[in-house]
A and B are shown apart, each in its own frame.
Chain A
Amino acid sequence: MTTSLTRRAALLAAATCAATIGLTAIAEAQTSIKIGYAISRTGPNTGGAAVTTIPNYELWVKEVNAAGGIKLGDKRVPIEVVQYDDRSNAEEAVRALERLINQDKVDFILPPWGTGLNLAVGPTLNREGYPHLAATAVTDRAPELAKRWPNSFWLLGTSADAAKSLVELLNKLRDEKKIGDTVAMVSIADGFGIDLSGAARPALTNAKFKLAYDKTYPIGTQDLAPIVNEIKALNPDVFIAFSYPPDTLALTEQSRIAGLNPKVFYTGVGTAFPLYKQKFGKNTEGVMGIGGWSGDSPAIKDYLARHKASAANGAEPDRWASAVTYASLQMLQQAIERVGKVDRAAVIKDLQTGMFDTVIGKVKLENNMPTRYWWVGQWQDGEFYGIAPAGNEGARKAIVPKPAWVAP
């Protein structure tokens, strides 16, 4: 009897102790905010992650910690980072996230790079109640996903919107008699290319454009000369390529060599990359592409300078999703600071309803998505300015026809 009593007492004591420790831990804790992410350091996504996502995560953490950390109530706590390599692999990304949540017990999680991986980690982040600020995902299912996973925010919009904006711009240019109505369109046979060409095709035909060429090419195609040569023979007014970075560069190079110089020359992901400017220099003038930013806004100029100062080799950000990625981190920080503690549900609520002051301007989400995007940008004087939708603040007028290619 006595033994059992003692045992019970011991158990009780132990439990009380544990509870007290737990309580003090909660009361005293939060000497730092643990932020975790799994990002593609290897594998096919590395190129995109290294340009758009990683430098922004690093810049943000560096800046926040230099300023003393994230403000919780009346004190600031520094960010502590836990990171893994998702090897560009969906299963690996989910595994890494589960480790971040269960093992490392991080307070917040930053999303991976790319549409595919963001879709892959969505269910996990939703189940565990972490805010999911998808800043590098373009999907037509964004509105539906935002409903299904109320913690998820789709900051880059839908491909249907992207195609619609482009066609609206073309329509306007045709009304102004700046272009005719023949369009040549190529697209990569992969997620992004399929989505965008699928949205652009009906939009173009509905707007009575003549699709003189409309073909896809497989991912990893090493020579795009046959495509460019055939399009050149058709002499279209508009060239549209829904391409990935390596093909964007190859298509531009080949067009210059073959002398394909239509009035509107539009290429896909990668047009907004610093590498594009670096490689083509003066030949970027007049090239349109997906994305863009308000190149004249002081906030963007300041962001560009800080990014250059912080990134390895003074790398510049890409002129589309980089600024959105950085803005998403500012939003997360502002939401946490307004809530004043690590309360993920409250942070999600604040993200859904709050107004945020970011490098891309004031952002207020509606149905977990921004109301304003840059869909078409154009290189003008060495800067990739947003030109459509024309109603956006800071939109520049398009230079059409595109100036002729010059010898490098």
Chain B
Amino acid sequence: MTNAILTGLMLGGMYALIAMGLTLQYGVARIMNLSYGEFLIAAAFASHWLFTGWAVSPFVGLALVVPLAFALNFAIYKLLLTPLVRRAPNRDALEVDSILATFGLTFVIQGSMLALFGGAYYSYSFLAFPVQFLGETVAANRLTALGITILLGLALYAALTRTRAGTAVRAVAVDPFAAQLVAINVPQASALTFALGGALVAAAGVLVSTFLTFSASSGVVFTMKALIVVVMGGVGNMLGCLVAGLALGLSEALVASYVDPGLTLAVNFALFLAVLLVKPAGLFGRATR
């Protein structure tokens, strides 16, 4: 039992990690980023390249890739998405526009990765040894990823609730128009949040690459998973994201261990549906209007 729960927590932690960035981008900056998974894979490739080509540990890779992703996403928001934000008469229109724009971006990023790395599968071994944890044998790389997820989650939570900038971000998430009235620079806050989401997905990409096999075209799987977690947890809600991720991971691991591994997907979607039926805005979402 401990083993199944531990496995579930590690898997759930990964889901939460993958979804954290999207919940910021979608919940606060109101950009439904369909190229989200591609950014994750791009970071995974960067980490792979640093590790196999230059023997740079993925931990150091994090320190390089994450700031770079932040800058890149900030630039993308400023150059590509700001015109959409300006033009959109309301939030719904912006969502539709951003879906189309980022869908296009998907092809650009995927195409570049295919050109650079080809279509083959990539995988490398980092911290791929067993460790004893709570009396069970688990993979060190997955455990590390869980640890870093928890740290990132806590840091982000603290930043959003304890700092001035975090409060501004939350205000924008709740109501961008009212936020403007209290002298919050909404465009700036949105850009920073989008970039922060991009930095988080890069962190997820680096960590995931240490234990999952990936290829240039596997981004869409991660976009889908992140989207489910975000919608299930309540758009823009960090805590919801964490709870939903863990719930999915735990249910998968328990079902695989005690019922049948063939039913994991079915249980995932059943859980997703159940949440949407009971709480249409997600576990921690507030119904708007």
Contacts and interface: CB of A to CB of B under 8 A. Distances in A.
Interface of A: 40-44, 46-47, 49-51, 54, 88, 186, 189, 215-218, 220-223, 225-227, 229-230, 245-246, 249-250, 253-254, 256-259, 270, 273, 275, 279-280, 312, 315, 407-408
A245 B121 contact: yes
Contact of A42 (B124, B217, B260): B217
A226 B217 contact: no
| Residue from B110, B111, B130 having most chain A Cβ neighbours under 10 A | B130
A221 B262 CA distance: 9
Contacts of B256: 217, 223, 226-227
A227 B119 contact: no
5 contacts: A217-B256, A226-B256, A246-B214, A259-B130, A275-B123
Nearest to B220: A44
Contacts of A46: 114, 119-120, 215-217
Contacts of A189: 262
7 closest A-B pairs by beta carbon, nearest first, are: A46-B119, A50-B119, A226-B256, A246-B213, A217-B261, A50-B120, A226-B257
B139 A254 contact: yes
Contacts of A249: 121, 123, 213
A186 B120 contact: no
Nearest to B52: A278
B217 to A, nearest CB: 5
Nearest to A52: B120
Contacts of A42: 110-111, 114, 119, 217
Given A256-B130, A257-B138, 6 more contacts: A46-B217, A217-B256, A221-B264, A223-B252, A256-B128, A259-B130
Interface in B192-218: 211-218
A370 B112 CA distance: 40
Interface string B139-169: 1000000000000000000000000000000
A253 B121 contact: no
A41 B139 contact: no
A385 B9 CA distance: 40
A312 B130 CA distance: 34
A216 B261 contact: yes
A407 B129 contact: yes
B267 to A, nearest CB: 11
Please indicate which of the listed interface residues A41, A229, A315 has the most CB atoms of chain B within 10 Å of its own CB.
A229
Contact of A279 (B4, B123, B129): B123
A270 B213 CA distance: 11
Contacts, number: 121
B48 to A, nearest CB: 11
Contact of B124 (A54, A186, A279): A279
Contacts of B218: 246
Nearest to A54: B119
Contact of B118 (A50, A217, A220): A50
Contacts of B3: 229
Nearest to A281: B125
A47 B217 contact: yes
B7 interface: yes
A51 to B, nearest CB: 5
A257 B130 contact: yes
Contacts of B217: 42-44, 46-47, 88
Given A42-B217, A218-B262, A258 B137 contact: yes
A253 B119 contact: no
Contacts of B7: 223, 225-226, 229
A258 B253 CA distance: 16
Contacts of A216: 261-262
A273 B215 CA distance: 14
A51 B120 contact: yes
Contacts of A50: 118-120, 215
A39 to B, nearest CB: 10
B130 to A, nearest CB: 4
Contacts of B231: none
Contacts of A253: 125, 128, 139, 211
Given A223-B252, A257-B129, A257-B138, A275 B262 contact: no
Contacts of B120: 46-47, 50-51, 275, 315
B262 A257 contact: no
Nearest to B260: A215
Nearest to A312: B118
B262 A246 contact: no
B32 interface: no
A186 B261 contact: yes
Given A215-B261, A223-B11, A226-B257, A408 B128 contact: yes
A221 to B, nearest CB: 6
A51 B122 CA distance: 11
Nearest to A230: B257
Nearest to B254: A226
B270 interface: no
A57 B47 CA distance: 30
B181 interface: no
Contacts of B121: 47, 51, 245-246, 249, 270, 273, 275
